Amino acid sequence: MSREAVHSTSVSLQPVHADESEELVRLRIEAMRDSLERIGRFDATRARERFLSSFVPEHTSHIVLDGERVGFLAVKTTADGLSLEHLYVRPEHQGRGIGASVLRILFAEADSKALPLRVGALRDSDSNRFYQRHGFVRVGESEWDIYYVRPAKTQSVTGGG
C-alpha cells in the first residue's frame, strides 16, 4: 500500500445511513484502539455504546477516497459554531493527508458561515498534534480529553465597481 500524499480533490464526503452504524462503530474502534490502549482505556463495549448513544446519521458522512470508504466524520451545528464530533480514518490510510483534506472541506464550510470549529481529542493521542498543526488552539481539558477551537475566519469583502 502506497503511503503517498492525497490531493484534496480526491477526497469526498458521502451521506451515512442509519443502518450503517455497526460499520462505523467497527471503524471507530479500529482507528482509536492504539490510542486507547496506550492510556489503558480500551474497552470495545464502552466504545461501541458511547458511539451509538450519540450517532446521528444526518450529521455523519463517509470519507471516500477514489471510491473507497476510508473513514467518517460527524459535524454538528451548535449555538456557538460547528463541532467536529468524530473524525476517523482507517489506520492503513492514515498519514496520507486524508484528515487534512477533510479539514480543508470543514474549514471552507466554517469560513463561509464565519463560525468557529470546535473539537475534542483524547489525551495522549496523535490527533492532538494533528489539530494543533492545522490551526486549532487549546481552550480546555478534562481528565481524558483536550478541547480545541479553530476561530471563525471572516470573509473579507472587497468593494467592486
- What is the identity of the amino acid at 29? I
- Report the distance separating Cα 104 and Cα 89, nearest Å: 15
The residue ranges of every structural domain in the chain are 12-150
The pTM (predicted TM-score) of the whole model is 0.84
pLDDT digits (tens, 9 = 90+) for 125-151: 888 999 999 999 999 999 889 999 999
- What is the identity of the amino acid at 32? M
pLDDT digits (tens, 9 = 90+) for 44-79: 888 788 888 889 999 999 999 999 999 999 999 999
- Report the distance separating Cα 45 and Cα 83, nearest Å: 25
CATH C-level class of 12-150: alpha beta
